[in-house]
Amino acid sequence: MTRFAEPEVISCTHCQTRYLRPVLLSFNTMWQIHYSDGGIKNGLQNTVINESRCTHCQGLIKNIQNLPVVEILSERPFWRNWFGKSHKYLYLPAPSFDVYFEFFDNEVTANAKLNWAAKALQVFNQTYRLFGHERQIESEISAQYHQLINYILQHYTANASEEMTMLCADIYRQVGDFETSLHLYQNVDRKRFQHIVEPASSWCEQRITSLMEVDGQKNTTQSHHSSRDEV
């Protein structure tokens, strides 16, 4: 069971508007879905977030988990929960595609830019391109998507990590260049990434261009540090 303590209060790094930050006590029903682009979806990603956009000033906020606590909330008497009285502050919204794209767009360092590009792309794929749940894409967002994949593919080098190679292979498959995709997968350690390379090869053969779920990594048990773990 996932349990939370009383939330902490943090503030926007631009306008100092105060927000709540959830405090996780424990979780033991951790599920994860892995996707063909290296992205992961899990049960906490909309709750325990590290990037967001201030709903007051629209500024980007990062390293949310490391922001200092600016106010201590008094313990609420138990009877107050009966009437569901809410806190005087709100939680920051989970980061959407536009948040990661703006981080990418603002970044100047190549490595960090590449990292934001990959995150933005993974959110984009999960939002618009998931197999069976493909959605119409507005032209402005489509243009941003192409900017991202061009940047990633331009920065792909022969000595890139295998994760980067698989991300690029997945991009090529999703844009319909199955030959290049299969070619890139040949540079990946087949033993270590068999659970990705094997299905990816068949998705190429079937000419599937959507984001795909990767089997064999589901229900990965995650341990999380917690001072008061539930038995």
Tokens of 103: 């981080």
- Toward Zn ion, which CB reaches closer, 68 or 84? 68
Closest separation in Å from C-beta 54 to Zn ion: 3
User: Who contacts 210 (Cβ-Cβ below 8 Å, separation ≥6)?
Assistant: 129, 130, 131, 132, 134, 174
Cα 121 off chain centre by: 9
Closest separation in Å from C-beta 16 to Zn ion: 7
For 176-206, give the DSSP string: T-HHHHHHHHTTS-TTTTHHHHHHHHHHHHT
- Toward Zn ion, which CB reaches closer, 14 or 85? 14
Closest separation in Å from C-beta 21 to Zn ion: 15
Q: Which of 20, 42, 19, 45 is nearest to 32 (CA)?
A: 42
- Toward Zn ion, which CB reaches closer, 57 or 94? 57
- Toward Zn ion, which CB reaches closer, 10 or 167? 10
- Toward Zn ion, which CB reaches closer, 20 or 54? 54
Closest separation in Å from C-beta 10 to Zn ion: 11
Q: Which residues bind Zn ion (CB under 5 A)?
A: 12, 14-15, 17, 54, 56-57, 59
Tokens of 118: 């990959």
Tokens of 67: 């922001």
Closest separation in Å from C-beta 56 to Zn ion: 5
- Toward Zn ion, which CB reaches closer, 60 or 200? 60
Q: Which of 47, 74, 57, 52 is nearest to 16 (CA)?
A: 57
User: Who contacts 33 (Cβ-Cβ below 8 Å, separation ≥6)?
Assistant: 40, 41, 42, 213, 218
Closest separation in Å from C-beta 117 to Zn ion: 25
Give the whole-angstrom CA distance, residue 90 versus residue 55: 10
